[in-house]
């Protein structure tokens, strides 16, 4: 019997899948193709070019900006040695703007998501108000801030009249103006993810908190805040990453003393035409932000909440 069983032909199943099914197997890749192609052309390729540039060296005796391929790691060490204060300033401004945006954005999101929940119309209007600035260009909005903070502006004269500011003080071209601009520009990025997670918050959980002897403050600290943490993490990342790498605010609102890494890269690329240093600085900034974000996400410990 065993011999007979061995002689029996192999079952025909699982031999070759029909043509139609073989086609279906490729469908996911076909769907991915446009996106992958896009990434390849506009992300991977430029990244490779940037790496190559960051390691290249000037052509001896060549034109301004002419480089030749090399493996000059010193580009990085020199960039870091020359420009580390700008890195510190960038991270500092980025952090400050993130904290300020959180302090302003969280109550804003809370008011819209929780307090205005019973009034959908008010809720919609407030959300539109949060998103409205996006209808104007980022640069235009920042230029408008220059008007707001200008020496002869209402804000400054009012602050001087109230003796909050000394008579000879100014707001433009100060770190304060840069941080204020960064904070303003990124508040929607902070408020919207927090709104999204607060909006999902089940109000019955807050009732359960109150029912279990937690007063308003304790309920907020033990129920609302932990449950909105995914939004807070998302919002801080969406604010910190672009704010740290930003150069528009520093360029338009700041002065020489408040320049950020982005401004250095900008001037290396377009004014000094020192491509290798600019590319190395870009990579250093990217690595720095990645490292800080990785540390933050790990510390926040919200993997199971996200």
Q: How far is the CB of 208 from another protein (least distance, A)?
A: 4
Q: How far is the CB of 295 from another protein (least distance, A)?
A: 22
Nearer to another protein by Cβ, of 85 and 226: the residue is 226
Nearer to another protein by Cβ, of 69 and 215: the residue is 215
Instruction: Give me the count of residues in the chain.
Output: 306
Binding positions for another protein, rule: CB under 8 A: 202, 204-205, 207-215, 218-219, 222-223, 226-227, 305
Q: Look up residue 134 and give its DSSP letter.
A: G
Q: How far is the CB of 270 from another protein (least distance, A)?
A: 48
Nearer to another protein by Cβ, of 24 and 208: the residue is 208
Q: How far is the CB of 305 from another protein (least distance, A)?
A: 7
Q: How far is the CB of 220 from another protein (least distance, A)?
A: 12
The DSSP code sequence of 3-71 is HHHHHSPPPSTTSS--HHHHHHHHHHHHHHHHHHHHHIIIIIHHHHHHHHHHT-EEPTT--TT-EE---
Q: How far is the CB of 225 from another protein (least distance, A)?
A: 10
**Residue 273 contacts residue 64 (beta carbons within 8 Å):** yes
Q: How far is the CB of 242 from another protein (least distance, A)?
A: 29
The 3 state secondary structure assigned to 219-268 is HHHHHHHHHHHHHHHHHHHHHHHHHHHCCHHHHHHCCHHHCCHHHHHHHH
**Residue 57 contacts residue 277 (beta carbons within 8 Å):** no
Nearer to another protein by Cβ, of 64 and 118: the residue is 118
Instruction: Give CA torsion, residues 80, 81, 86, 90, to 10 deg.
Output: 40
| Contacting residues for 65 by C-beta, under 8 A, at least 6 apart | 273, 274, 275
Report residue 210 as tokens: 């109150």
Nearer to another protein by Cβ, of 142 and 228: the residue is 228
User: Which residues partner with 68 through β-bridges?
Assistant: 57
Nearer to another protein by Cβ, of 63 and 304: the residue is 304
The 3 state secondary structure assigned to 149-164 is HCCCCHHHHHHHHCCC
Nearer to another protein by Cβ, of 99 and 305: the residue is 305
């Amino acid at each position: 019997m065993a011999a007979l069983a061995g002689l029996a032909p192999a079952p025909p199943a699982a031999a070759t899948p029909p043509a139609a099914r073989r086609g279906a197997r490729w469908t996911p890749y076909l769907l991915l193709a446009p996106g992958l192609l896009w990434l390849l052309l506009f992300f991977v390729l430029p990244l490779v070019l940037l790496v190559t540039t960051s390691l290249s060296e000037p052509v001896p005796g060549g034109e301004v900006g002419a480089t030749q391929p090399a493996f000059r790691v010193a580009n990085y060490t020199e960039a870091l040695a020359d420009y580390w204060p700008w890195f510190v300033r960038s991270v500092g401004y980025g952090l400050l703007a993130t904290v300020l945006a959180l302090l302003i954005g969280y109550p804003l999101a809370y008011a819209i998501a929780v307090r205005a929940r019973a009034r959908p119309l008010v809720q919609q209007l407030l959300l539109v108000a949060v998103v409205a600035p996006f209808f104007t260009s980022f640069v235009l909005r920042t230029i408008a801030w220059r008007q707001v903070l200008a020496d002869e502006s209402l804000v400054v004269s009012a602050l001087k009249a109230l003796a909050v500011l000394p008579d000879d003080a100014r707001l433009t071209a100060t770190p304060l103006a840069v941080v204020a601009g960064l904070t303003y520009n990124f508040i929607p990025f902070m408020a919207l993810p927090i709104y999204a997670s607060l909006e999902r918050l089940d109000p019955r959980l807050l009732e359960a908190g109150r029912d279990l002897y937690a007063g308003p403050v304790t309920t907020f600290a033990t129920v609302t805040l932990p449950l909105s943490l995914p939004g807070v993490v998302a919002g801080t990342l969406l604010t910190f990453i672009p704010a740290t790498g930003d150069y528009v605010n520093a360029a338009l609102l700041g002065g020489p003393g408040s320049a950020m890494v982005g401004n250095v890269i900008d001037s290396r690329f377009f004014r000094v035409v020192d491509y290798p240093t600019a590319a190395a600085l870009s990579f250093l900034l990217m690595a720095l932000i990645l490292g800080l974000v990785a540390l933050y996400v790990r510390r926040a410990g919200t993997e199971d909440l996200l």
